[in-house]
Amino acid sequence: MTERFATARAPLLTLLLSVALAAPSVCVPAAQAAATPAKPRAAGPAAPAPRPAGPLSLWSAEQLAEPKDPAQAKAERAMRHLPQPDANAPARTAPVESAPRLPDAWRGIIRRVQLPAGDKRVALTFDLCERAATVAGYDARLVDALRAANAKATFFAGGKWMRSHPERTLQLLADRRFEFGSHSWSHANMEVAPAEFRQRQLDWTAAQYELLEQELDRRLTAKGMPPMGRGPMRLFRLPFGRGGAEVARLLNHNGLAVIQWDVVGEGGHGNAQARAQAIADAVRPGSIVLLHANAVPKDTAEVLRRLLPLLARKGYATATVSELLATGHAQTVPEGFFSFPGDNAIYDDMFAAWGTGERLKPSPKHP
């Protein structure tokens, strides 16, 4: 996530709707029909949701979806502030498998992708970030909405967030419609952090991802299913959107393409419908939309539910960022930003420990 909106798995499966068979028609005079009350039908137990297929069958539909208990659902979305920052390392501090060399066409800071004529796809991206000073949430309603619409998405997850939410991470990794990118370990401002700290943020996140990927493959093979075989993460999103040429070179050297956005999907004015319409109006083919799935912006799930049909009516399909890059030409910028260059420099001294610790200054209002 970007902390731009901090002050921020149960994923949704498409349910098969049971179709009631119509009762045989009976000819009844109109007057008699109007006077004959309908017999009430006995209420029976609701049919259980069908078990998901493929890798997602490791869980039931209920385990994947938002908890039915409102208190549990609210607790899963909630952010908790820790008594002191969590500086503990993951069980593995460096990945066993390194990312391969990054293609030259994917270098720099990528803002959007120029697609071939007639290709109307956009990438919906969701940050899952967590600073050392907090434990962030997970908005299952949002993932439910993606799955209900059979939408593709890219999640940029912090390593610490993945460690805090291992089962939800596994569920997202098991869904072939989704891909994962790195968002650093604890939401570090890569522009101001020292070199050793930057590298540790990358290594710890890659190692945590690798541990969970291996756990998922272990569970799949135990059930007689093939492993996912995702391999190392290839994408990175700058926390706070902060980073220039030097940071991009470091990330690219680690095999990571730096993915920003050309459409800010949160903030703005009006109700959820108005904001969804604003996003739909702003996207172009090859757009990358910034959103969050850690429940820091509180109503992103509702905005998303309204956005998906708007995009469909405009003829847009969803794609992962990697799918866009494989098809089109990456358009780059010299530095990361939200809406215009320099608009995120205010975050350089807003949080302690190079962006990962406690808040030192109040968050500004954003357009």
- The 3 state secondary structure assigned to the chain is CCHHHCCCCCCCCCCCCCCCCCCCCCCCCHHHHHHCCCCCCCCCCCCCCCCCCHHHHHCCHHHHCCCCCHHHHHHHHCCEECCCCCCCCCCCCCCCCCCCCCCHHHCCEEEEEECCCCCCEEEEEEEECCCCCEECCCCHHHHHHHHHCCCCEEEEECHHHHHHCHHHHHHHHCCCCEEEEECCCCCCCCCCCCHHHHHHHHHHHHHHHHHHHHHHHHHHHHCCCCCCCCCCCCEECCHHHCCCHHHHHHHHHCCCEEECCCEECCCCCCCHHHHHHHHHHHCCCCCEEEEECCCCCCCHHHHHHHHHHHHHHCCCEECCHHHHHHHCEEEEECCCCCCCCCCCHHHHHCECCCCCCCECCCCCCCC
- Give 203 or 46, the one with higher predicted confidence: 203
Q: How confident is the model at residue 136 (pLDDT cuts 50, 70, 90)?
A: very high
Q: Please determine, for residue 57, whether its predicted confidence score (pLDDT) is greater than 60.
A: yes
In this predicted structure, what is the pLDDT of residue 352?
97
pLDDT band at 364 (very low <50, low <70, confident <90, very high): low
Mean pLDDT check: name the lowest of 12-21, 293-302, 338-347: 12-21
Predicted TM-score (pTM) of the model is 0.86
pLDDT tens, residue by residue, 284-304: 999 999 999 998 888 999 999
Residue 145: pLDDT over 70: yes
Q: Which fold has domain 3-11+104-349?
A: TIM Barrel (3.20.20)
Quick one: pLDDT at residue 30?
32
pLDDT of 183 reads 98
What is the residue extent of each domain of the chain? Answer: 3-11+104-349
pLDDT at 245 over 90: yes
- The answer to whether residue 71 scores a pLDDT higher than 60 is yes
Q: Higher pLDDT residue, 281 or 11?
A: 281
